[in-house]
Structures are given as structure tokens and as C-alpha cells.
Structure 1
Amino acid sequence: MRYANYINGQWKQPTLGEYRENRSPHNGESLGEFPSSTVEDAREAIIASKSAFQSWKKLSFQQRAAYLQKAADILKANLQEVGRDLTQEEGKTLAEGIGETQRAISILEYFAGEARQPVGEVFPSGNPKTFLYTTRTPIGPVGLITPWNFPIAIPVWKMAPALVYGNTVVIKPADLTPKSVYHVVKAFDEAGIPPGVLNCVFGRGSVVGNELVEHPFIKAISFTGSNQVGNQIAQLAASKGKKVQMELGGKNPLIVLADADLEKAVEIAVSGAFRSTGQKCTATSRVIVEESVYETFRDRLVERTKTLKTGNPLQEDTFIGPAISQSQLDGVLAMIEAGKDEATLLCGGEVPAEEELKNGFYVQPTIFENVSPDARITREEIFGPVIALFKVKNYEEAVEMANDTEYGLSAAICTNNLSVAQKFVEDIEVGLVHVNNETAGSEPHVPFGGCKNSSTGSREQGKTAIDFYTQVKTVYLDQV
């Protein structure tokens, strides 16, 4: 089946008629063909968003929110189908695919509800005849460049606030997972969203994404992806005077202290590191354990990891599905080979031998110990199911090691000491802190983002999303 771009309220074939086949990372099965769009396709979408902006921003918040709620209802009616399609094209398990689709629905519902929340403040003026207040105005057409690892949740958590606050949108989905965003756009189309308000152009980031960053009609860029690409986009967009929001990489630590429930800590480490095949910016990649419980924790972690099933993500008992692509798998395997030279391999580290997995992009869950602080697997984001284990003397050394990274997205600690947990919240240099839970995972109604090289710009999700997608206008209203 061939799919089309969505531009100005119509499904349109790409200008040059070129397509890219969308294939399953499990077995290479074709999942349809999606446009390889040109700069001309992107420009048509941008112009449509510019033309629709004035009428869209004049609608009331509640009128705009109604489209979000209708789209949420449509996705909810198709939850199983959409979740299954997500799993087939991205590779995460079916439970995760359905769960992520439900999360997208919840985000739409949340921002539909934000339409009835206050958007400004009233201030006392030094002049008794002045009514002094602020309001919020949309910034205009925005460009959204979204990743493959959360192919429906991340597009929606950018799209929903952009739309409800009065902006128009051009989205460039990841070319590895186009069908998930197609389902979202189709839901908005069925909800009757006005032409030009939401536009979707499939294709390469170097073509479509670059045009979004370059074109003067686009007033802001929200990007989630690698640091290398994100930094290039941020510099170019800033030179064009655009607002920029970047969610980038992570090298997230889990600290396990001696007083922790070790069985629970093992499950926290396994879930945080290996679910979604480790392909999360919030995935656990460094596990830092207090020395008095290190050997016990290590042995239990290795034993538990060896029970995990790697295989077809549509099968109920699968824990780890495939990597998204051959290039992604090659990158993970290269890092594992580097780890074998730098550290001690405890388990995994190979491509599974099962015949039924030979056409997919599979790798075993992998654990290393005796890892140097300067090793590549310590410093670099792997984006795969790989844990580096570290032994430390105490809490202070654990936190020092956890903070010794260019990233600052998420961190977790396992402890039964409330005072230590509170101290950890203060000491750790990240944007997301978990106590007795995994580093991965966030709820849709709270801010998401990190510090250091993990994020730039204002936070995503929750009430703070308004900061990026609007401008504050201060009003002095004097009596005549």
C-alpha cells in the first residue's frame, strides 16, 4: 500500500512520485510505501500552515481543543490496530506499542483539558487607573521533527500543545517509523481539523527537516533525536531567529545502595535498561552499586537477564524485540565490541542464534563489569540493551560517578532511606529523578526534559509546554 503526505487538508502524493518502503525490523516484511518528499513538498506544507494560522489562532481555546478530543476518541477506537502497527514498524513489544498509543491518547486528552486553564496573570499596577495583566499569543507555524523510538507519543506531545495554543504545524516524522504518525494525522483528518492547520510531510531529514529549519514562515523548531543532528539544527535555527526546543541524548545512571530491596532493584535495572531494546533516551545504561551488595546484585542481575526472551515483538512472552534498523544494530554491536576490549563481559553481547530471528536486527541483552570511567561504554550513549556495572564504596562516590557525564536527562536510586533519597534529589544533575523506580518513564501531565547536553530550550509536556508554544504579551489597560 502507498501512503501520501497530508498537506492543506488533502492527502497528496509526493511531487516526484518517489517512495521509500517501510519494513519490519523483525523480518523485513513490507509495511507499505511512504513518500520520499522534496523541498517543494515541504514548502507547499509550510505555505499552507502560514495561510491557516490567522483563522486558527482566532478560534477559542475550547474550539481548538475539540479537535484534539475528537482525534483522541478516534485513536482510542483503533487502539489495538495502531498499537500493533507501531510494534511492527518500531520493534518494541506489543504491550509497549499499545501502551505508547494509549499514552498518546492521554496526552491529547490532557491538552484538550488545558483549554479551560488560565493562560495569563493579573498584576497590581503602580497606577490606580491601570489594569495590568499578561496574556499568551501563539508564535505561528511551527516545525516538528520527531524520532523513531517513540513514534506516536513524542509526535503527539509536541503536536497537541502546539495546536491547542493556536499554532499551526508541519511535522516531519522519522522515516523509519512513518505509519505511527500517519495514524495520528488520519485521526485529526477524520476529526475535521481545518485545512492547513496540521500538515505532515514524510521524507529525509536532510531534505524536509532542513527546509523546516531554513524557511522564514516557520517560527519555531521542536526536535527530538541525536546530539549531533540536534546541535546542527539548533545553530541553524537560531541563526534564523527561530525559537528552538531540543531533546537529545542521555547516559542515565541507576544507583543501588546497600539498604535497597535488591530483588526490586534488579527488576528496576532490567526494565529500565532492556525494555524497548534500550532504545530510549531515558534508558538505564550505567548501574552503580554499593560494594557491600555488589556481588549479590550482580549475580542476580545476570541470572535475571538470562531469562529474558529476545524475539518477535508480537509474541506475548517476548521481552526484547529487534533494534530499529541494520545501521542501529551495527552501532550497538560496535559499542559492544569496544566494551569487550575495555571491560569484562558478563552476559550477552552477541546476535541471537535462533533461525527465526536471522532476518531481524536482534542483539542479546548485554552486561559488562570492571568498566573504566573513561571507557566508551561509560561515556557514550549506546541506545541499545547494554548495562555497564560499577562498584563504589558509598553514596558520595556513587553520586560523583553518576554526575560525571556530559548528559543530564534522568537518574534513579534504590534505597529505603528517606533522608538519602531526598539528598539524592538535590545532588543529582538531571531533569528527571526517580526514587525506587527505573530511569525510563514519564507521565504526560508533568514537565519532561534534562540539563547539560540532554536538553535545550523549555520543557516539554505538562503546563510548561505553554512556554515554548506561546509568547507572553503584557497589557497596560488604562481608564479613559
Structure 2
Amino acid sequence: MSADYRNYIDGEWVESESDETIEVRNPADTTEVVGTYQRSTEADTERAIEAANDAAEGWAKTPGPERGRILRETAGILESRKEELVETLVREEGKTRSEAGEVGRSIDLFYYYAEKARDIGGPNKQSSGEKTELSVRKEPLGVAGLITPWNYPSAIPAWKIAPALATGNTVALKPASAAPGPARQLVEALDEAGVPDGVVNLVTGPGSEVGNTISSHPAVDVVSFTGSSAVGERVYETASGDQKRVQCEMGGKNPTIVMPSADLDQATEIVAGGAFGVTGQACTACSRAIVHEDVSEQFLDQIVAHAESIEIGPGLEDPDMGPHISESELDGTLEYIDIANGEGATLETGGGRPEGSTYENGYFVEPTVFSDVDPEDRIAQEEVFGPVLSVIEVGGFEEALEVANGVEYGLSSSIVTQDLDEAHRFVDETESGVAKVNDKTTGVELHVPFGGYKRSSTNTYREQGDAGIDFYTAEKTVYLNY
């Protein structure tokens, strides 16, 4: 039996004024309704923003260690409920239990920023004059409007909420309608930890009403968005119009280069993990394997065999790969497979929906590998957001780097090589915000900056680590003469 969930505004769980709800179904078995959430309106969102605005001054004045105490208590509550959080994520988003390890990342983020809250501040500098103290303060911006996606429905809200609160900002959060449960659970833990009324607010509903209100409302001071490039560019245009601070992290078309010196067993594992993990539904997923001609035939044989060995099934059973989150995402992947076939690429494996009673009520798709892909083909240029890998053969390192950089995105990239010169040149010349050597394109650490180049990002501020602190604070330079 599914549960009915409400918005969280000014410390209370409340229904939308629309009296309408959104059903969230299990993508592995669409006959199961996991929960119903509020289909909120512009007026609901405005109430949440006003509550955050009313609470902003008090929260900003709350000492950093006290803010950190609440974040630490929140992390402890989340940790005690980890299995419940994992199950919610799997049932709403479709990830496997192993992939739902992002819940652990959420817990770590709250612990991390709980400690950072103790020492938020700026440097003292030596003045050029006598009897003058010169220092820099970091101060909160005010109300943070956060718009988060469905593909990491726990970790991404956590890496936006935690630094925003640690630095003294209040929050109005809109999670993705496809999987809002993990964000709701974060807010429940914050509420239980004693976060003051109005400091955190959660509103579920369509982006056209809730998201647009957050990005355009004059009381919102800073906006952070993660999602598609098309939507992110609209958010940026709307939010920056009245000089809000804005950060948008968006799409990717991430390559892994495989060179002749690579251990091909390792290269296969790296590419497969990046391409087929989380059903390819990651902005950092590897969708292009750019392989040197000397090893391309052997690599292709190995990656096809790996794809064909992947166990597909409902995430609760913890197979190798779960379903797409929705029918529209599944249709989008199947459409790109048709496009690739029409462009003349060779379908090596996959390309359709798996057969059998296990799959008939879910949004399942086979891991898919194409060879003979031209770097200018749509399948090699556009974000697919599914478990579809294009293998592109190249004649050397220079060509590999040119192909890797020859797209409008620049989020993550990697190379598999034992040649130190190639590794260093790759790091120097790859046009991406994340560069990895002998590692998959997916997966990032929480204490270092994360973000992309080109159309993958607004190229304003980064997320996570100290960069998260910088984004949610303004610097005030203080001259104290005595």
C-alpha cells in the first residue's frame, strides 16, 4: 500500500492548495504505486520561499558550530535509517541496491559539512598602513533555491542542502517529480534533528510552476540546478536576469580513450562500469569508447561479451543493471538506437527490450554497443542518457584527443594507458571539468570541486568541497582602523 506525502513548509507538513497529487510508480514494476506526492502550484512555492526568507536572518545569526550540530545530528538519523532510505531510492528510481550506495554519500556529505560549519571564515591580511586590521568574512547570501534531478535523488539534494545550511542560508527545495522520496527523507531527518521552522522547505511538483517560481522569485538570492542542458540554460537565463548567483550543472557526452599500452581487461571493466552502471543514467556516464586501432578489435570483443553478461532485473533483487526510470526515458534510448542504426553504425549487441515475464511491467532495456561509429554521428554527439556505448576507432593519441574534445559537452573524461606521457598530455588537454586516468568517468569524491566545461555547466561556480562553501557565501572585506 502506497503512502501519501506532503510538502514541508515553515516547519509543517502541508498539502498543496491544488488538491492534486502525483503518483510515483516503481519503474521495475509499474503496477506498484510507491507513493503519492503533492502537485504544487506557484502559490505553494511562494509560501515556501517566503518562509525561507522570514527565517533567513535568524539562521544566518546562528553560530556555525550550532548549525554544524544540526547537520551532524541529521547525518546520524540518516545513518540509522540507511536500509529504509536505500529501499525508497530503489523503488522510486530503479537503481540496484548496490547502486543505491549513494545514500552513504548523502550521509557523508552531512557529516562533512557539519565539520566545515565550524571554521567558515576568511583570511586576515596584512594592511599596507599602520593601525589597520584587514580581514575577509564569508557571509550567507540568503535564500537558496535548489532544483534537483531524479538520477541521484539522494546525493545531489544532499550536496546542495548541506553546504547551503552550513554557511547560514535557508533553503527552498524542489526535487524531481519522478523520484522525490529520497529528498523528502533528508528533510524528515533535518526536521527531527531540530532545524528551525522555515530554514528548510520542500515543495514537489512540475518544473513549469515550482521550478520556474524558484528561479524567478525576487526573494531567492542563489539558485543551484542539476539536470538537462536545455532546462538548465532556461533556469540560468531566468535566475540571472535579476542578478541572482546561479550555478547549473548539466549534461555530458563523456569519453574514455583506450590506448595500446592499456590492460584491456582493466579497460573493459572501466568502460563498462561507466557506460552501463546506473543504467547509463548519469551525467558522467561513458557513452564513447575511443579506441586505438591496434587494440580495437580485441577491445570490442571484450566489451560486447561484458555487455552480454550483464544481469538485468528489478533493483530490489540487486542485479547488475536495473530499469530506466520512466517510459519517456526508455523511449528516448530506443529512439537513439534507431538513429544509430539509420546512420550506419553496426549494432554489436543489445538494441532492444529484454524478453520475459520479469520485464513486461518495467522500463527495461538491454545494454547496447555500437561499432563503426563516425565521430560526427548523432549517437556520438548527443547525450543519450541510457546504457548505449559507441565504440570509435582512431589511429593515434592526437586523433583520440581531437575526437574526445569534439563535442559541445565537457563534464568528465578518462584515459586508460600505461604511458606516462599520454596520461599527462591527456590531463593537460582534455576539455572537461573532471579528468581521470585509468578510472571510469563516473564517481567523484565529495571534498573536491565538481563541475563541467562548455555546455555541461554555466561555468560559474563548482559544487562540493570548499567550492560548495564559496558558492553559497559572499565575501566582505573589513578595514578596521584603530
**Superposition TM-score, scaled by structure 1 size:** 0.98
Match of 2:97 in 1: 94
Alignment match of 2:79 (pick from 68, 73, 76):
76
Q: Distance in 1 between matches of 2:406 and 2:68?
A: 43
State the 1:433 CA deviation. Answer: 0.9
Match of 1:11 in 2: 13
Q: Distance in 1 between matches of 2:94 and 2:454?
A: 30
Match of 1:340 in 2: 341
- After superposition, give the CA deviation of every residue in 1:88-144 in whole Å (9 maximum; x if it has no partner): 1101111111x1100000011110111233520122211111111101110001100
Q: Does 2:221 match 1:222?
A: no
Q: Which amino acid aligns with 1:36?
A: R
Determine helix, strand or coil for the equivalent of 1:466: helix
Q: Distance in 2 between matches of 1:454 and 1:217?
A: 27
Alignment match of 2:437 (pick from 435, 457, 461):
435
Q: Distance in 2 between matches of 1:66 and 1:394?
A: 54
Alignment of 1:335-414 (within 5 A): 335-342=336-343, 343-414=345-416
State the 1:264 CA deviation. Answer: 0.7
Match of 2:467 in 1: 464
State the 1:419 CA deviation. Answer: 2.4
Match of 1:137 in 2: 139
Q: Distance in 1 between matches of 2:23 and 2:402?
A: 46
State the 1:415 CA deviation. Answer: 0.7
Q: Distance in 2 between matches of 1:364 and 1:290?
A: 26
Alignment of 1:125-164 (within 5 A): 125-164=127-166
Q: Which amino acid aligns with 2:53?
A: K
Alignment of 1:182-221 (within 5 A): 182-221=184-223
Q: Distance in 2 between matches of 1:227 and 1:441?
A: 20
**Any conservation in 1 of the 2:64–2:119 contact (CA below 8 Å)?**
no
- After superposition, give the CA deviation of every residue in 1:172-215 in whole Å (9 maximum; x if it has no partner): 00000011111101000110100000000011111111111121
State the 1:320 CA deviation. Answer: 1.1
Match of 2:326 in 1: 325
Q: Which amino acid aligns with 1:242?
A: K
State the 1:13 CA deviation. Answer: 1.0
Q: Distance in 2 between matches of 1:32 and 1:234?
A: 31
Q: Which amino acid aligns with 1:274?
A: F
| Uncovered stretches (5+) of structure 1, i.e. residues with no partner | none
Q: Distance in 2 between matches of 1:223 and 1:299?
A: 39
Match of 1:67 in 2: 70
* CA RMSD across the alignment: 0.8
Determine helix, strand or coil for the equivalent of 2:320: coil
Q: Distance in 1 between matches of 2:317 and 2:392?
A: 34
- After superposition, give the CA deviation of every residue in 1:360-412 in whole Å (9 maximum; x if it has no partner): 11110000011112211011000000000011111111111100011110000
Count of residue pairs brought into register by the alignment: 477
Determine helix, strand or coil for the equivalent of 1:131: strand
Q: Distance in 2 between matches of 1:298 and 1:373?
A: 17
Determine helix, strand or coil for the equivalent of 1:314: helix
Q: Distance in 1 between matches of 2:291 and 2:340?
A: 19
Determine helix, strand or coil for the equivalent of 1:157: helix
Q: Which amino acid aligns with 1:335?
A: Y
Q: Distance in 1 between matches of 2:6 and 2:412?
A: 37
**Any conservation in 1 of the 2:45–2:213 contact (CA below 8 Å)?**
yes
**Superposition TM-score, scaled by structure 2 size:** 0.98
Q: Distance in 1 between matches of 2:443 and 2:455?
A: 19
| Uncovered stretches (5+) of structure 2, i.e. residues with no partner | none
Q: Distance in 2 between matches of 1:371 and 1:420?
A: 24
Q: Distance in 2 between matches of 1:387 and 1:118?
A: 43
Q: Distance in 2 between matches of 1:175 and 1:413?
A: 36
State the 1:431 CA deviation. Answer: 0.6
Q: Distance in 2 between matches of 1:66 and 1:162?
A: 15
Determine helix, strand or coil for the equivalent of 2:315: coil
Q: Which amino acid aligns with 1:240?
A: D
Q: Which amino acid aligns with 2:290?
A: I
Q: Which amino acid aligns with 1:333?
A: L
Q: Distance in 2 between matches of 1:236 and 1:115?
A: 31
**Any conservation in 1 of the 2:271–2:286 contact (CA below 8 Å)?**
yes
**Any conservation in 1 of the 2:375–2:392 contact (CA below 8 Å)?**
no
Determine helix, strand or coil for the equivalent of 1:270: helix
Determine helix, strand or coil for the equivalent of 2:317: coil
Alignment of 1:97-136 (within 5 A): 97=100, 99-136=101-138
